[in-house]
Amino acid sequence: MTKGEITRQRIIAEAAPIFNQRGFEGASMQDIMQATGLEKGGLYRHFSSKEELAVEAFQYALDRSIRLKLPLVPPGISAVDHLCLLVEHFVASKSSLPGGCPLMNTAIDSDDGNPALRDLARKGIQNWQTRLIAIVDAGLKRGEIRKGTASRRIANTIIATLEGALMITRIEGRSAALQDAQESLIDMLRQLAPAPSQPSGLHKS
């Protein structure tokens, strides 16, 4: 990396928590000058606009968040166990940077606002959906998930419930809502396994 690229990366890393906490409108170039110790001219040497910096900062925050929220997956794990592991890891893992989930923040911040940020939020949700749908579809193929299960419904329900619970958790200042969401999602996911072909009662007692 050139010296210029290193400075650019540092600005992005230092602007990310500011945009994540205050939103696109709420974060001023003044705030970012203060955090980075750079003059306005110095910032604009690396970014043509506040929007360009915000887009890079959001992408940085999202990448960090994904790295933290994605668990190590043991090989040969079943689709249902994989989905449960994702949910549990999401609930257990710390926030990647101050201000809460960058995806939710940017989605809510940009839904009536900045189109470049809205596109990024849309892609972030799409990637998450695609990842979850692939796990459900693989499970359907391997017979680990009941035939007829709508993979998109499972993906959307997991994302919605976790993100909504994170919002409640942040506003309540306690993790009860995330714990509750986890329990309900694990309940739902455990039921995706096909019913055993013989009633298990026959083998017991």
Contacting residues toward a copy of itself, per CB under 8 A: 21-26, 98-100, 104-105, 107-113, 118, 121-122, 125, 150, 152-154, 156-157, 159-165, 167-168, 170-172, 176-177, 180-181, 183-184, 187-188
Q: Which is nearer to a copy of itself, 24 or 47 (CB)?
A: 24
Q: What minimum distance in Å lies between the beta carbon of 62 and a copy of itself?
A: 13
Q: What minimum distance in Å lies between the beta carbon of 202 and a copy of itself?
A: 15
Which two structure tokens, joined as six digits, stand for 169? 């958790």
Q: What minimum distance in Å lies between the beta carbon of 101 and a copy of itself?
A: 9
Contact 52, 11 (CB under 8 A): no
Q: Which is nearer to a copy of itself, 36 or 161 (CB)?
A: 161
Q: What minimum distance in Å lies between the beta carbon of 81 and a copy of itself?
A: 19
Q: Which is nearer to a copy of itself, 11 or 132 (CB)?
A: 132
Q: Which is nearer to a copy of itself, 41 or 148 (CB)?
A: 148
Placement of tokens 């019913």 in the chain:
195
Q: Which is nearer to a copy of itself, 83 or 165 (CB)?
A: 165
Placement of tokens 């915000």 in the chain:
54
Contact 158, 86 (CB under 8 A): yes
Q: What minimum distance in Å lies between the beta carbon of 105 and a copy of itself?
A: 6
